[in-house]
């Protein structure tokens, strides 16, 4: 079928050149649009999203309002150095504060349920306990809270957990409804006058001396003074040279469990497994390390290998999940790199990116969006 031509109204109102086009309508794209409009209401901004919904990670994650687990933060001390690791914790902490300032808990089903990290007895746990006082002291400087992480082994049984020996509790972590969050944020930026093109993929782009030209898969091109790439794990498809690899994450959700005693967010194996209560169901994700090569992918499909690993984890560790059917399975795409900090960068005076959320974008996206907006408005 031949494509209809665009009317003058469509061309002038929708396909007109914009001040800024944001590619990617996930959390980072949305928060960036919000902060840009907040500081410069006069800017004409459009977001281009290839999914009918923002189908990357933002509506496909586990919904942890993620502060970070002690094992993971102490590992970051080793790999990134203490200062950088703490900077990342501070980003998460401040990001969550921004999030909670903008949305009443009921709107995004936010629960201040607290989080746990599970351990088996062994060197990893011993090392953690040796570093715990120092870590809590560092975190008190950031949060004013003391202690952030405390032993809670006696809760293992009450929570219905088996096959772990130790538990650490963190009162600062929470859980939310990722779909409601993205929906609320989308409504917020629409109400500020941002245009959103959904179901529209950018398939190529070039930069001239006066503008950025973006080719879409819909037979029209879009033009802007500046572009901000917020495509996270998909950034590898259209931007060269970034230290970034797509990392698929898979999730399953059980059928409702009568009298479920598990409550909170849970981390295990340095974040390779994570689970939480979701009403009276259990949401469990991770196991990427079981097949890391296949999971280095931008495909949104689940695989038998990872789903079986997740089911086996469920059977082994969560007493009340035994024999319960799985009602939902899905996959989303994160971005990882050699460093864990996000890339918020000007690639040229017209081209910017805010990518590589390292699997904690729910928490850090508000701050990343703020920093990206600051960077762009400083140059304007």
Ligand X SMILES: Cc1cc2nc3c(=O)[nH]c(=O)nc-3n(C[C@H](O)[C@H](O)[C@H](O)COP(=O)(O)OP(=O)(O)OC[C@H]3O[C@@H](n4cnc5c(N)ncnc54)[C@H](O)[C@@H]3O)c2cc1C
The CA angle 149-166-314, to the nearest 5 degrees, is: 110
Q: Is 224 in the site for ligand X (CB under 6 A)?
A: no
Residues 13-52 that bind ligand X (CB under 6 A): 23-29, 48-51
- In the bound complex, what is the minimum distance in angstroms from residue 262's beta carbon to ligand X? 16
Helices (H), 118-177: 123-143, 155-159
Cis amide leading into 141 (omega within 30):
no
Q: Is 332 in the site for ligand X (CB under 6 A)?
A: yes
Count of all residues that appear for the chain in the document: 380
- In the bound complex, what is the minimum distance in angstroms from residue 4's beta carbon to ligand X? 22
- In the bound complex, what is the minimum distance in angstroms from residue 144's beta carbon to ligand X? 22
Residue span binding ligand X (CB under 6 A) among the ranges 13-21, 71-79, 312-320, 360-368: 360-368
Out of 103, 110, 149, 234, point to the residue binding ligand X (CB under 6 A).
234
Q: Is 288 in the site for ligand X (CB under 6 A)?
A: no
- In the bound complex, what is the minimum distance in angstroms from residue 133's beta carbon to ligand X? 27
Burial class (CB in 10 A: 0-12, 13-18, 19+), 198: middle
One character per residue 158-197, x = contact with ligand X (rule: CB under 6 A): ----------------------------------------
SS3 content of the chain, % helix, strand, coil (to 5): 35, 25, 40
Residue span binding ligand X (CB under 6 A) among the ranges 145-153, 204-212, 232-240, 343-351: 232-240
- In the bound complex, what is the minimum distance in angstroms from residue 288's beta carbon to ligand X? 9
User: Using CA atoms, how far apart are residues 227 and 233, in angstroms rounded to an integer?
Assistant: 17
Task: Count the alpha carbons within 13 Å of 205 in the hemisphere toward its beta carbon.
Answer: 25
C-beta of residue 61 within 8 angstroms of C-beta of residue 362: yes
Q: Is 264 in the site for ligand X (CB under 6 A)?
A: no
């Amino acid at each position: 079928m031949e494509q209809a031509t665009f009317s003058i109204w469509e061309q002038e109102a929708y396909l007109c050149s914009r001040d800024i086009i944001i590619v990617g309508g996930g959390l980072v794209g949305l928060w960036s649009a919000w902060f840009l409009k907040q500081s410069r209401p006069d800017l004409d901004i459009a977001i281009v999203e290839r999914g009918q919904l923002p189908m990357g990670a933002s509506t496909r994650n586990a919904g942890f309002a993620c502060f970070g687990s002690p094992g993971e933060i102490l590992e970051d001390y080793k790999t990134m150095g203490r200062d950088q690791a703490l900077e990342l914790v501070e980003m998460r902490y401040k990001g969550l504060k921004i999030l909670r300032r903008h949305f009443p808990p009921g709107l995004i089903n936010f629960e201040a349920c607290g989080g746990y990290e599970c351990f088996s007895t062994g060197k990893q746990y011993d090392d953690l306990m040796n570093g715990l006082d120092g870590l809590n002291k560092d975190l008190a400087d950031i949060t004013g809270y003391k202690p952030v992480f405390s032993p809670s082994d006696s809760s293992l049984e009450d929570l219905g957990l088996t096959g772990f020996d130790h538990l650490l509790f963190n009162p600062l972590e929470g859980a939310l409804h990722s779909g409601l969050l993205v929906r609320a944020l989308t409504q917020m930026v629409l109400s500020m006058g941002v245009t959103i093109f959904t179901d529209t993929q950018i398939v190529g782009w070039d930069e001239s001396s006066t503008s950025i030209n973006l080719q879409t898969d819909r037979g029209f091109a879009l033009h802007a003074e500046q572009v901000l790439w917020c495509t996270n794990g998909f950034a590898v498809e259209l931007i060269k040279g970034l230290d970034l690899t797509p990392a698929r994450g898979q999730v399953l959700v059980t059928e409702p469990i009568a009298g479920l005693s598990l409550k909170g967010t849970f981390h295990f194996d340095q974040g390779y497994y994570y689970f939480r209560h979701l009403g009276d169901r259990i949401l469990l994700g991770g196991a990427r390390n079981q097949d890391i090569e296949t999971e280095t992918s931008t495909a949104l499909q689940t695989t038998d290998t990872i789903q079986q690993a997740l089911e086996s984890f469920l059977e082994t560790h969560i007493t009340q999940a035994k024999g319960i059917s799985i009602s939902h399975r899905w996959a989303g795409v994160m971005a990882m790199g050699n460093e864990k900090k996000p890339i918020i960068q000007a690639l040229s005076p017209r081209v910017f990116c805010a990518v590589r959320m390292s699997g904690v974008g729910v928490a850090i996206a508000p701050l990343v969006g703020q920093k990206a907006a600051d960077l762009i408005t400083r140059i304007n």
